[in-house]
Structure 1
Amino acid sequence: MGKAMFYHLTRDPVEVTASTLLTRAFGAGWRVVVRGGDMAGLERLDAALWLGAKDSFLPHGLAGGPHDADQPILLTTAHDAPNNPVCAMAVDRAEVDPADVAGLERLWILFDGQDEAAVVHARTQWKAMAAAGVQAEYWSQDGGAWAKKAQSGEG
């Protein structure tokens, strides 16, 4: 079982942090599913990933096409992941639960620190992970750098 990593976005928008994490995952050869709370947010992320730096091309696609299973990075609002990911990312208050961590290396949960509803939603998810004994880490931006602020569960 992997771990859940909560990223409290206080400086960078979701597109920047998601791109950084997805670049690392792709470089490690990991397939990723990005689960969004709504299609509009995923479409913004999709556009940002296509417009990223030329030297950091991230092959990806929005779910619903004929090649979903072949996508190294699949963006979807659905719970299923036909691309057989080893890593998942939740953005825009997408629902995740402790069972989502089973069989994954990582579950990244990105939430906007300026959105009180997103913060409350992430706290609820953190409590569910901790109650289930899932290893969870809380990361926050301090002056631009990421710092681990808390950990719970196994490990």
Structure 2
Amino acid sequence: MVAAATFFVLTEQIGRARNDKIDLVKFWIRDRFYCMKRIIFATISSVFLLLTACSNTQDRLNQFEGYVVERVKENEREKILVVSGITQKEALEKNLKDVAESENHNNIIWFVNEENSFKGIQKGEKVIVWWAPQMHNMPSIITLLAEKVEVIKKLKE
């Protein structure tokens, strides 16, 4: 009888140990699964953030196309007056006063820049200027900080 009871106790302990090992393996597999899910989520999130941060900044910039009517330099800052909806001939003949009287103010923008982005740009050239979106007062002629400028039609010499 004692032998049977001892055998029963030993069998029960072996069964518990076996169940504990199975539970340990289940826990280990479940823990690795959740760990892998976190790693995959972190990787996908990192790639998404990297692609978003490295996207072209021109996508987030506004652009304005027109002819340069005036170019001035004041206090180490360059300014160009860009007017859309006019011809190259009009850009060469007119000045600020003329375009302010004859053109819609939505078609006239002063652009400023401290980085010499306007170097080499002359009156009468057609340009595209990009700037970061910002609030501005209407209906006067607005002044915006140019992020980038590109000449698309050079002045014929």
* TM-score range for the pair, normalised by the shorter chain length: under 0.3
TM-score relative to the length of structure 2:
0.25
Higher helix share: 2
Q: Provide the TM-score with structure 1 as the length reference.
A: 0.25
